Structure 1
């Protein structure tokens, strides 16, 4: 019994370190939406240009994902995360000094690269170090990502009110990156300084199933990035204050956190994830329809439904990808490919929604478009039969 406790303790501390690192993977984007009108009051920024603050980091995440596994194999898991957290922290801190939209966008891209390097290696790290609890640990990891978004969306407007500076409200999240960096550094005994460089590199571009998983992840993440970028501005246009709109986005991301914890734990009981995926897509469709048809009535219900759906869909998309391969390195390579292509797809969605808003004067058509995307995803779910996974990557 004593030996079990001794071996479990480092694993618990490592998982806590993973969760603290994950908290830093969204504040640089999530803090922007609730502060957008304050930023636009100081810097000339159309909705299309403002969408780049979410779009470009997500695109950078997609592109950097393809190099992330290679970099982590050269530097090792520990050093890759340390350097990435430092990049996120410095990019976030630099927002104290921005004077133009271009500088703001550059800071977003740099943070996006740091985020991507971490996201590329974490699924493989979790699958290799927590092999008996992959779905649960992936749930904790992804939930922490969304928890970081919830904290930033809720508290950024409060920082704006207390300091009178949107720059401070964007830059304060560098503190979180420094805390994570110190905690990750304390785990150096549980992580090797160098990674296994003998792992055979595998390309997934030729596998149609890898593309299906990537498109599925990308379309699902498109709903997440669009809501993250435009939910708060949508409600500000409806007459809400920035603080209340930010709290509403914080409430939605809190629902994502709950769903991200509960859904993977439920999914752990069966390898067939299709019923759960269908239920999650149904929640998202209901949330978007409510947002369009009755945004002011039952205004907490629609973000609740969206949050519960999106919060479960994000980790489940990655878990389904991990399910396809038993080897942790191959599964990590597949999830890096899925996220790389997926984030490139998802990165376009805030720009398209911003252009729709500029052209048509309303976000409603963007919400309708995303509702149609969810219907397409429901058809894709029918193909995720776990009995046939082994046939796709022989």
Structure 2
């Protein structure tokens, strides 16, 4: 690759990074001040969990629109407009701060994120076919970075803005402005790069493929774990006697560890490419972290946060790689990724909602911890089935 090509590739990766930062704060910024918002609006924990569940469900429901939208408008215009929608939905929370307004803005953000994610996934497959793993690592790192800064600074903003939670949430919308401008300026729609021997317009229907369904189920369980922890980890820490800022720091620590792992683990996977061994190893470590999570002590929740961050940093990017590994052309990469992200995110919308309902019913997060354990067990079973299916092909 010549110097000009390297510079062009670097700019494209930079644009992917900026857009990807915006794919989490609209959701993850709620967690650190969830209890405060609930008390301010006089709503239940179940109602508050909808602020996570609705955008996550939208991420699944509208993901199939990625394929027709990308075909009609191209990568450049599609992601520019959708990134702008995320920014608009988030910024308007300062003006419209009722519970119903939060639900509507959550819906709009989830709609945009739903379509952006599979489009970027397919774009990486097309643009970087021989360096897919490290670029997906950067993509995952950027999402983790967005989650980390929103988890870390929302509580600080809340204190700095004299308890104005609406401003603390809306400020994250300004991240989208620079991302939108940069993507539109840098990315150009051009001819598809053909690589390998399987370049054809024919694509297997993932909805009729058993392996695709198993990948979808795995992805659903791992995203359920992520959104359950980002929504409720701060609340669990508060129940164990921490202050709001300290409890928010637990979530920040988890996301920072995840951030570092998002770069390291995909690079290691590129060197040692057996995805399923990686997944089962990470899940086992996660089960250990879940056991420590049950210890009713402040040190235990810090240790669990580190372990959960490490585990999540590998589970998500590998989950993105699985449908791309099976795809034989760009059309199939787009359709398989769209299916996996669609069904997976729709599945994961119910986990934070279930935790909120159980917490309203029991007034304790003891059962929240058991739900985390169950998610790890279900993930392990899905990976085991995936392994059997791959051997039978």
How many Å separate the matches in 2 of 1:340 and 1:260? 22
Q: 1:356 to 1:224 in 2, by over 3 A?
A: same
CA distance in 1, matches of 2:201, 2:67: 10
Measure, in 1, the Cα distance between the counterparts of 2:317 and 2:242: 31
- Residue of structure 1 equivalent to 2:264: 262
> C-alpha displacement at 1:206, in angstroms?
1.4
User: 1:389 offset after TM fit, Å?
Assistant: 7.6
Q: CA RMSD in A?
A: 2.2
Within-5 A mapping of 1:59-138: 59-138=57-136
Q: Report if aligned partners of 2:215, 2:386 keep a CA contact under 8 Å in 1.
A: no
Residue equivalent to 1:10: 8
C-alpha distance after superposition, 1:306-328 (max 9, x if no partner): 00001110111111221112312
Q: 1 CA distance for matches of 2:39 and 2:222?
A: 32
Secondary structure in 2 matching 1:239: coil
Q: Output the CA distance in 1 between the equivalents of 2:190 and 2:45.
A: 45
Paired residues of 2:211 and 2:390 also in contact (CA < 8 A): no
Of 58, 66, 76, the match for 2:56: 58
TM-score (ref. length: structure 2): 0.93
In structure 2, C-alpha distance between the alignment counterparts of 1:51 and 1:223, rounded to whole Å = 14
Equivalent position SS for 2:42: coil
Residue-pair matches, total: 387
Distance (Å, rounded) in 1 between the aligned partners of 2:92 and 2:202: 38
The question of whether the paired residues in 1 share the 8 Å contact of 2:30 and 2:169 is answered with yes
Per the alignment, residue 351 of structure 1 pairs with 353
Contact 1:88 1:174 in 2 (8 A): yes
Alignment TM-score, normalising by the size of structure 1: 0.93
Using the TM superposition, give the Cα deviation of residue 381 of structure 1 relative to its aligned residue in structure 2, in angstroms. Answer: 2.0
Distance in 1, Cα, partners of 2:292 & 2:116: 35
1:213 corresponds to = 215
Quote the residue 2:332 is aligned against. Answer: 330
Matched residue SS, 2:372: helix
Q: 1:295 to 1:310 in 2, by over 3 A?
A: farther
- Which range moved further: 14-23 or 201-210? 201-210
Native 8 Å contact 1:85 1:181 kept in 2:
yes
Structure-1 separation of matches of 2:293 and 2:389: 38
Show the counterpart of 2:229.
Answer: 227
| Contact persistence 1:79–1:193 (CA under 8 A) | no
Q: Secondary structure at the match of 2:274?
A: coil
Mapped partners of 1:322, 1:243: distance in 2: 40
CA distance in 2, matches of 1:237, 1:285: 22
Q: Is the 8 A contact 1:22 1:145 kept in 2?
A: yes
Secondary structure in structure 1 of the residue aligned to 2:301? coil
Partner of residue 46, structure 2: 48
Q: Deviations over 1:121-151 (max 9, x none)?
A: 1111001101111111111101211110000
Deviation at 1:202, TM superposition (A): 5.8
Residues in 1 aligned to 2:192 and 2:267: alpha-carbon distance in whole angstroms: 32
The answer to whether the 8 Å contact 2:211/2:386 transfers is no
- 1:360 Cα shift? 1.3
Report the Cα offset of residue 199 of structure 1.
5.6
Q: Distance in 2 between matches of 1:122 and 1:314?
A: 15
1:153 aligns with 2:139: no
Structure 1, unaligned runs of 5 or more: none
| Deviation, structure 1 residue 178 | 0.5
Gaps in structure 2 of 5+ consecutive residues:
194-199
Is the aligned partner of 1:364 residue 2:363? no
